[in-house]
Structure 1
């Protein structure tokens, strides 16, 4: 099948790879080069880098313009496949390919339509996440789906879930295209009564607070990503919390806002118990073991929002 692929981050690279291995890709569309990493240098998107390694032509676009629509038309795709491209596709583009446009969406639709399904699932305490291969339509993530696959959350954070869901989504996309080619594809309309939305996560939503239950603070740590990190202030110092785990009440009888450094552990008191912080990144410093960092603190050992 002749497929135009549209995607940008690491999540989308496995889908690009499976399409390139089994189909003809005349064009890849991705977001423009951006400043990334600690060096703050201009770098290509992961999808662009992967496409160029394979010698696939790439077009960069921040939004879908008439010129981009024409580029897709000139590529003569049977189908357009999308995975976290980062822009809404207009109806004109959706109508171009004879086999339509499909999207690899990182949730079990109709739960978590929108830009941040993995983070929202973690913030809500969902016990499983998943992927859906859906038909793109005018309304946001509202199209019928043909394949879904679940993934248990366990103790995984957003970064690792994103990696695993990217691989799972690629597998399901390959299967969907096989079904489409064989004429055995089965589209299931979403139940509108079960819809929830996953808007972009703002930094202010990721502030850890002593007034929150320990489980809520832990969910924020697990949902943390570079664009919206879980943060707090400990002994007056701003810090990003990268990993944490819950403590039993008898193990850590701390009042909300208290901090204890004991026996190689950094414990912070929440509204209903405590968390043990495992990995932190203090402002202006590198990631490190939380207890090792805390041993150097000399100010009042309390914590609050940044």
Structure 2
């Protein structure tokens, strides 16, 4: 088929590569170059970099406006495919390709409609994640579903790890749907069940509540890692928690800190969380126990204070 593809982050790359092997990609739509790193160097999106590698035409746009619509219409695509582009597809662009647009979404719809499905699912403690390919409609993530697949993720997987698994699994799922649309065998069915919302994460979503049971604390850590990042205050200092694991070493009061040779144990409402790597505000990432020793902390310091 003749396709237009829209996507921006690394999670969209497996699908772009899978489709480019078989189909005619008339254009790749992605967000404009963004400043990255401490020197704020303008850098093409991950999808733009791969599209250039593959020799595909690129349209860089902040919004899918009239100009983008006209450029896409001139390409006469049969189908649009979108994976985490970062903007809404509205009419008349929505109806410009012959078969409209399909969207790879990283949840089992109608669960977790919105910008952060993987993160919200992990925070909620979902043991099974998934991906869905659906017909794009004006309402948010509400279109009929062509295909969906559940994926078991490791019980300690953070959001970036889980998203990588889903991105590669979802690439094959999407390729199968495109093949079905091309040969006329694809069938989409209405979403079943009560929708749940996966709103974009804010910095405040990363704050850990040490009064909660370990499983809830760890679920939030997984869901907000690496972005916007799990964090807490210790001795009035803001500290980002980069690496952590469940621990069964005794019981500490919520927020109580006990250093070991390999980790800082921080008490929760049940078992402690073992923190192994941190980034204090304004400093480089470092081993948690090294940071604690350098802090010359005393026994009265508590996480969350």
TM-score bracket, shorter-length normalisation: over 0.9
- For the residues of structure 1 that align with 2:230 and 2:21, how far apart are their CA atoms? 38
1:293 pairs with one of 254, 273, 291: 291
What are the equivalent positions in structure 2 for 1:19-38 lying under 5 Å apart? 19-38=19-38
Instruction: Please report how far the alpha carbon of residue 106 of structure 1 lies from its aligned counterpart in structure 2 after TM superposition.
Output: 0.5
- Deviating 4+ runs (over 4 angstroms): none
For 1:113-163, what per-residue CA distance to the aligned partner results, in whole angstroms no more than 9, with x for missing partners? 110000000100000111101100010000011111211122211011111
Name the counterpart of 1:160: 161
Higher mean displacement: 280-289 or 52-61? 280-289
Name the counterpart of 2:251: 253
- For the residues of structure 1 that align with 2:226 and 2:125, how far apart are their CA atoms? 20
What are the equivalent positions in structure 2 for 1:103-118 lying under 5 Å apart? 103-118=103-118
For 1:39-94, what per-residue CA distance to the aligned partner results, in whole angstroms no more than 9, with x for missing partners? 42211110111111111111111111100110110111000000001111112111
What are the equivalent positions in structure 2 for 1:36-115 lying under 5 Å apart? 36-115=36-115
Preserved CA contact (<8 Å) 1:114 1:140: yes
Preserved CA contact (<8 Å) 1:209 1:304: no
Higher mean displacement: 222-231 or 181-190? 222-231
Instruction: Please report how far the alpha carbon of residue 279 of structure 1 lies from its aligned counterpart in structure 2 after TM superposition.
Output: 2.1
Preserved CA contact (<8 Å) 2:32 2:60: yes
Name the counterpart of 1:190: 191
Higher mean displacement: 176-185 or 134-143? 176-185
Name the counterpart of 2:262: 264
Describe the SS at the equivalent of 2:21: helix
Name the counterpart of 1:274: 272
Describe the SS at the equivalent of 2:131: strand
For 1:219-257, what per-residue CA distance to the aligned partner results, in whole angstroms no more than 9, with x for missing partners? 121112454111012243321112212222xx2221112
Name the counterpart of 1:127: 127
Q: Which runs of 5+ in 2 are unaligned?
A: none
Describe the SS at the equivalent of 2:298: coil
Higher mean displacement: 231-240 or 75-84? 231-240
Instruction: Please report how far the alpha carbon of residue 304 of structure 1 lies from its aligned counterpart in structure 2 after TM superposition.
Output: 3.3
RMSD of aligned residue pairs (Cα, Å)? 1.6
Describe the SS at the equivalent of 2:274: strand
Q: Which runs of 5+ in 1 are unaligned?
A: none
Name the counterpart of 1:200: 200
Matched positions, count: 303
- For the residues of structure 2 that align with 1:225 and 1:275, how far apart are their CA atoms? 15
Preserved CA contact (<8 Å) 1:224 1:242: no
Change beyond 3 A, Cα 1:299–1:278:
closer
Preserved CA contact (<8 Å) 2:214 2:270: yes
- For the residues of structure 1 that align with 2:70 and 2:186, how far apart are their CA atoms? 29
- For the residues of structure 2 that align with 1:259 and 1:141, how far apart are their CA atoms? 43
